[in-house]
Amino acid sequence: MELVIVESPTKAKTIQKFLGKKYKILSSFGHVRDLPKSELGVDVEKDFEPKYIIPTKARKNVTLLKKEAAKADEVILATDEDREGEAISWHLEEALKLKNPKRIVFHEITEDAIKEALENPRKIDKRLVDAQQARRILDRIVGYKLSPFLWKKISRGLSAGRVQSIAVRLVVEKEREIEKFKPVEYWSVEAILNKSGIDFSAFLSKVNGKSIDKLEIKNKEEANKILNELKGSEYKVESVEKKETKRNPLSPFTTSTLQQTSANKLGYSSKYTMSLAQKLYEEGHITYHRTDSLNLSQLSLNSAQKFIEESFGKNYYNFRKFKAKSGAQEAHEAIRPTFANKTPESLKGELDGPKYKLYTLIWQRFIACQMSPALFDSTSVDILANQYTFSANGQVLKFDGFLKVYPMKFSENDMPKLEEKELLSLVKIDPLQHFTEPPARYNEASLIKALEKHGIGRPSTYAPTLSTVQERNYISKNEQKRFIPSEMGIMVNDMLVENFPQIVDIDFTAKMEKELDEIAEGKDTWKKTIKDFYEPFSKNLQEKYDDVKKENTDIKTDKVCPKCSKPMVEKLGRFGRFYACTGFPDCKHTESLVKDGPGNQIIKLDIICPKCKQGNMVAKKTKRGKIFYGCDKYPACDMATWDKPINEFCPTCNSILVENKKGQVKCSNKECNHKREQSNADSNSKANKE
């Protein structure tokens, strides 16, 4: 009997379907060894030797795997193909005391891929293990050495992370850009013209043949001056340019682009997207989902060609090869469906809603990337009126191409047939006021894009990074699902930027990622990389303990402690501000602080509590950063719900209605069964608001 060990039970179950009774497939349930949580776990005096332990939750399974490995004729390690998977295989080898286990990798869980992998086993790649180990130890040193410093200088319970701190810095700096932003007024001039009963818009673009800058018309007076000079003018067609334009499909998904597109199109967080993708991969529906490669296998390209030509016709097929950005690591292929002919419709009964939606996105993007471009008939017209030139553009879809499979937004603007030198009728002319917009806050998609652009992190790190900084309450999402920094997030960021610039320096962190890549390629050693980082970091840390004063975040208030009558102050804690007695530690009385606005611990809603009818509903955060809703009269009223109360009343029992995370509206009264799906009007209103 041959024992095959993978990470997850789902993956084990899928592989078992392809292999006979000769093989026994078991799961490690992720990592079987790790650094201890209670201590640093890295001996900085002895070449940074890590102290690995078997976590309590893994011990029972490790004992089982040891017994099965002892009985097996051969042990095959089939963990994921990236650095993390390689490290899990190495930890299994060490924990189970295996001698020369076989290591196999595959990019997709299909019968052909599994059998080909079994025919081509290799040894564990210690270079990949070293790269993963270097990242783990580096992050452990930063986290376990910097966190106590933050406890002493700001507040207990805080923590710092190498990549996470960069994400927080990006959000904080964006917020400061917005705070400094001053809107600039500018104007444009729009003419509505008519030809043969058809109206169309044209905008002022040139004066005396010279292009007008966007901000050139600064105020209403300047715009009105132009209008006065245009009074009584003839509007004559100066030039007409007609051409065919193309719109090419996007490349297949990488981890980063999948997370960005899933956030934009489906509204899924990066963490949820990766959870769904993990299941789709383990069930054999898609290829490996942690990748920054754009490569596609010849077999998949051939199957895409066959599907496109048979389904849509040969004119819809267009072979393409995509080039990944320099430094793409750890993967053989982009994310794609394992079989091109497995359409989303064919799997509708097998996949639940969220998995079905994500699979549809992946399948559409892969098929579309091998399809013909969409073709448009485009028209550009310049219209002369005195010394002023107005420009108008029209576009009509001529051939849908890849848009047949992968819908993307485009505008069609049909124009009347125009000839040079012909005169047009002026319907009306309007000056339009505008103001420059502040930079947009990051959402999940744009923050991941920024991290990738700067070379921060790798495919496997984006989702946990965003999840961690939200759980730590350093950043949170506002109603438009955009990130804003909390008061604590700003304070921690400023402390790190001022005193540990290397840790939060974007270029330094990107350089460190390249060094990890060099370890994986055998060009550097992990111990040298850690030593080069640790020695200056440790020296600076010791100096800062002596030099940096503790931040005083307390704010005086008029409140008096109800227990000991001493003054109370506003204190800043990990989860926001709260009231605390100045008599601490003799008196440990604290109270919640109700404050409107994002990023605070509690947000007051203008909704009466449906249970006691006395208090107001408030949004609160758990210690893990999850939002729930309760009554501000707690503990007198214990009303609490995960669903968000809305300002509507149940038509059946007149209780407050609540909206769950799926957008379904139902009654807050548990004895009432009234519920409804969010209407299109509700959805559109919400979309417009965002």
Quote the pLDDT of residue 412. Answer: 87
CA quadruple 509, 456, 269, 404: dihedral, nearest 10: 170
Any idea what the Cα angle at residue 306 is, between residues 399 and 398, rounded to 5°? 0
Among candidate residues 346, 369, 365, the one with its CA nearest the CA of residue 356: 346
661 HSE (CA, 13 A, CB side): 10
How far is it, in rounded angstroms, from Cα 480 to Cα 443? Answer: 9
Residues 6+ apart with CB under 8 A from 653: 667, 669, 671, 672, 674
Say yes or no to pLDDT of 217 above 50: yes
Query: What is the full DSSP assignment across 417-468?
Result: ---TT-EEEEEEEEEEEEEPPPPPPP-HHHHHHHHHHTT-S-TTTHHHHHHH
Report CA-CA distances (Å) from 275 to 59, 248, 289, 358, 499: 25, 30, 10, 11, 37
pLDDT digits (tens, 9 = 90+) for 578-609: 889 999 999 999 887 755 444 445 566 667 78
- Average pLDDT of span 341-358: 94
- E strand segments, 2-56: 2-6, 23-27, 42-43, 49-50
Return the H-helix or E-strand segment holding 616.
Answer: strand 616-621
What CATH number belongs to 255-368?
Answer: 1.10.290.10
287-331, pLDDT tens digit by residue? 999 998 899 999 999 999 999 999 999 999 999 998 876 555 444
Q: Tell me the two tokens of residue 164.
A: 């996470």
Contact 330, 290 (CB under 8 A): yes
Flag whether pLDDT at 688 surpasses 60: no
Give me the chain's average pLDDT, please.
89
Percent of the chain with pLDDT over 70: 93
pLDDT at 221 > cutoff 70: yes
Average pLDDT, integer, range 377-384: 96
Instruction: Supply the pLDDT for residue 661.
Output: 64
Q: What is the pLDDT of residue 114?
A: 94
Average pLDDT over residues 542-548: 93
Spatial distance between the Cα atoms of 482 and 178, rounded to a whole number of angstroms: 13
Q: How far is CA 374 from CA 301, 443, 639, in A?
A: 20, 29, 55
Distance CA 356, CA 350 (A): 8
Polymer length of the chain: 690
Domain spans of the chain, in order of start: 2-124, 134-181+441-547, 185-248+376-435, 255-368
> What is the rounded distance in angstroms from the CA atom of residue 12 to the CA atom of residue 555?
56
Instruction: Give CA–CA dist 123/125, Å, rounded.
Output: 6
Tokens of 25: 């497939």
Q: What is the pLDDT of residue 627?
A: 75
Buried-state track 172-207, b at ≥16 Cβ within 10 A, e below 16:
bebbeeeeeeeeeebbbbebebebeeeebebebbbb
688 or 116, which is more confident: 116
Is residue 681 over pLDDT 50? Answer: no
Cβ–Cβ under 8 Å, residues 4 and 26: yes
638, 660 contact by CB (below 8 A): no
Helix (H) or strand (E) holding 227: helix 220-230
- What is the pLDDT at residue 639? 82
Region 41-51: mean pLDDT is 94
Cα-flanking dihedrals φ and ψ of residue 97, to 5°?
55, 50
Q: Give me the pLDDT at residue 610, please.
A: 76
616-640 mean pLDDT: 75
How many angstroms separate the CA atoms of 565 and 175, rounded? 39
Q: Which two tokens stand for residue 267?
A: 């509204």
Per-residue confidence (pLDDT) for residue 623, from 0 to 100: 55
Residues catalogued as catalytic: 288
Q: What is the model's pLDDT at position 397?
A: 95
Sign of CA dihedral 557, 561, 565, 571: negative
- State pLDDT tens for residues 249-261: 999 999 999 999 9
Tell whether pTM > 0.85: no
Q: How confident is the model at residue 685 (pLDDT cuts 50, 70, 90)?
A: very low
Beta-bridge partner residues of 103: 77, 122
pLDDT of residue 600: 45
Say which amino acid occupies 643.
Answer: D
Confidence of residue 622 (pLDDT cuts 50, 70, 90): low
In this prediction, residue 328 carries a pLDDT of: 53
CATH superfamily of 134-181+441-547: Topoisomerase I, domain 2 (1.10.460.10)
What pLDDT does 597 receive? 44
**pLDDT tens track for 501-521:** 988 899 998 899 899 999 999
Confidence of residue 636 (pLDDT cuts 50, 70, 90): confident
Q: Is the pLDDT of residue 151 over 70?
A: yes
How many Cα neighbours within 13 Å face the side chain of 231?
Answer: 6
- pLDDT higher than 70, residue 656: yes
At 198, the pLDDT band (50, 70, 90 cuts) reads very high
**Residue percentage of the chain with pLDDT more than 90:** 71
Highest mean pLDDT pick, 217-221, 577-581, 672-676: 217-221
* Separation between Cα atoms, residue 10 and residue 278, nearest integer Å: 10
Q: What are phi and psi of 642, to 5 degrees?
A: -80, -20
Which residue(s) pair with 577 in the sheet?
572
The predicted pLDDT at position 683 comes to: 37
Tell me which residue has tokens 């058809």: 198
Q: Over 60: is that where the pLDDT of 682 sits?
A: no
Q: What is the pLDDT of residue 299?
A: 93
Which phi and psi (to 5°) does residue 453 adopt?
-60, -40
- At residue 679, does pLDDT exceed 50? no
Pick the CATH number of 2-124 from 3.40.50.140, 2.60.40.680, 3.40.1020.10, 2.60.40.10: 3.40.50.140
Residue with tokens 């769950």: 660
- Burial status of residue 99 (CB atoms within 10 A of its CB: 0-12, 13-18, 19 or more): exposed
Least trusted range by pLDDT, from 302-311, 570-579, 616-625: 616-625
Alpha-carbon distances, residue 408 vs 128, 372, 617, 648 (angstroms): 39, 14, 41, 35
Choice between 237 and 687, residue whose per-residue pLDDT is larger? 237
Superfamily of domain 185-248+376-435: Topoisomerase I, domain 3 (2.70.20.10)
Asked if residue 359 has pLDDT above 60, the reply is yes
